[in-house]
A and B are shown apart, each in its own frame.
Chain A
Amino acid sequence: QKEVEQDPGPLSVPEGAIVSLNCTYSNSAFQYFMWYRQYSRKGPELLMYTYSSGNKEDGRFTAQVDKSSKYISLFIRDSQPSDSATYLCAPHAGNMLTFGGGTRLMVKP
Chain B
Amino acid sequence: EADIYQTPRYLVIGTGKKITLECSQTMGHDKMYWYQQDPGMELHLIHYSYGVNSTEKGDLSSESTVSRIRTEHFPLTLESARPSHTSQYLCASSEGGVGRYGYTFGSGTRLTVV
Contact = CB atoms under 8 A, between A and B. Distances in A.
Interface in A26-40: 32, 34, 36
B75 to A, nearest CB: 17
Contacts of B92: 43
B13 interface: no
A103 to B, nearest CB: 11
B102 A49 contact: yes
Interface stretch (A12-20, A66-74, A77-85, A91-99): A91-99
A94 B103 contact: no
A102 B38 CA distance: 13
B110 interface: yes
A88 B48 CA distance: 20
Give chain B's interface secondary structure class: loop
Contacts of B99: 32, 94
A42 B107 contact: yes
Interface residues of B, number: 21
Contacts of B107: 42-43
A96 B108 CA distance: 20
B31 to A, nearest CB: 8
B40 A88 contact: no
19 contacts: A32-B98, A32-B102, A41-B108, A43-B92, A43-B107, A43-B108, A46-B101, A46-B103, A46-B104, A49-B102, A51-B100, A88-B43, A96-B98, A97-B102, A99-B42, A99-B43, A101-B41, A102-B42, A104-B40
The 5 tightest CB contacts between A and B, nearest first, are: A43-B105, A101-B42, A34-B102, A46-B102, A99-B43
Given A36-B102, A44-B105, 12 more contacts: A32-B98, A32-B102, A43-B105, A51-B100, A90-B102, A94-B97, A94-B99, A96-B48, A96-B98, A97-B102, A97-B103, A101-B42
